Structure 1
């Protein structure tokens, strides 16, 4: 007996299978078309860009929002650029925010722009120190632009300390015990009296000459030299003790701050002590030296006299020896004469 099959199921399933295969082939054909490939690549690129932007926005969104709220003119593109150029965006954003809040010019054309801050950072400069110095100078109405401040910073000088010294002058001891180990300057007047002086020099920074200008050591050396010279030109030490400001007047009139990074405000004599009588000591030493020279000459003459005496004694001894030799030859000559018959014995 033959098995009975359902002809309806066989007929209905076959068209469905044929339709599914047709749809699958159609989709595969569409997927492999050039337009579909380009669309898929563009979609993947868009997704990648969105992911990258999302990453940077999550990382630098807070800084960008801080700059935006402070009207600091820092774009998100600049923050992304700092990421790839190894620039610390926190420093740049903080500097721009401080500049904007202080009322400085932060325009991109001629102000403290983000690009200029990045360039100074990459050059190894201290961005925050420069901004602090410019703000301090702006508050004190001291002319100082970003280019000048950055040049001073890159030259190795502390630009913030320079501005602070311009506003609040500092005092330099002359001599400086920390540098020379001495506490006083020693100078001698014309009458030979030693005076020991300690001076204090008040200076403020000359920002225009800060690059290439001489340092504090030059100021100390020049002031010390001028003080010693002015005391040395005094006739007596009494004049210096009675009128110490004669030293400061002479020193200030010489323009000792030329070609230096400082401007001398004042020179004050802190203390004057009377030292030794150098003139008398020098005269005593000279007299002693003259005495030693005279003694040496006398000793030389005595030695020469003794040598001459010994020489004469040697000559006397030599003459005596010649006399003895001559006397010894007399008997020999007489014997020779008797033998030769030149001399006869006297008759008895």
Structure 2
């Protein structure tokens, strides 16, 4: 067993392999570019026996590479009877102690990249197809294969963001943004990972007991101030009649906003011969913002066009006697306070 750490005084980075292993932790292999439209180290074919590699920067196996002007790579003639698929590559060579842009010939398929940690390490720039009997690569026969790499997510102080570099990620107070070259566009917000809780059901001040072993689960996920919620109830008992409508608690620590009513769909299916129903549930500020305060179902005074529609609240015993085997589901999304 051997341990290594560094660099320290008296324990420097003394070999290129040590450097490569350390530097690879700073960033991935690839051309330094923030956008696929960047021409950094992009390969083009012009219909002659060379392809051109544009100027740019890259990292290869932990080593830095910089090309300050266009470099032409010679395309060997294809003497075979079928099209040949080649690669333009960057090659880090531990023996030669350098990184260079090279042209690597293949066959009916592209050549395999050599990637030996303490030897030769190659990454692709472009795939080039050479027609049978030819030694030229046209622009149409060059396929961009560059790995792109750049800075990771950058932190930001509110009111002091840097310019919005294209495709750059920025995080600020739990908010993730992506730059489009002109502005930072919101992408995501820190929230609550998928989680469950045991909903508390009440009728007024009384807690409803749905029976030992009842299925009673709330399944939720929060992204920023938006919460997705599903509550599933299957009783194993028959609670008594209560004079107050059924209410159920929202996930702990995620009360609904009081600026408007949050709405949910609910569905009831009886396994006791009492049919089924659907309705709308809502959070009412008067009942408290930490619970679904009403489960309402539609009714009417008649079936004529002049009949006045209305809605009633769901009780433990009305319009159904909710008991063992029945299923009540509440589903929807709401904004938190």
Q: Which TM bucket (shorter chain)?
A: under 0.3
Which has the greater radius of gyration?
Answer: 1
Q: Which has the higher helix share?
A: 1
TM-score, normalised with respect to structure 2: 0.22
Q: Which has the higher strand share?
A: 2
Structure with the bigger RCO (C-alpha within 8 Å, sep 6+) is 2
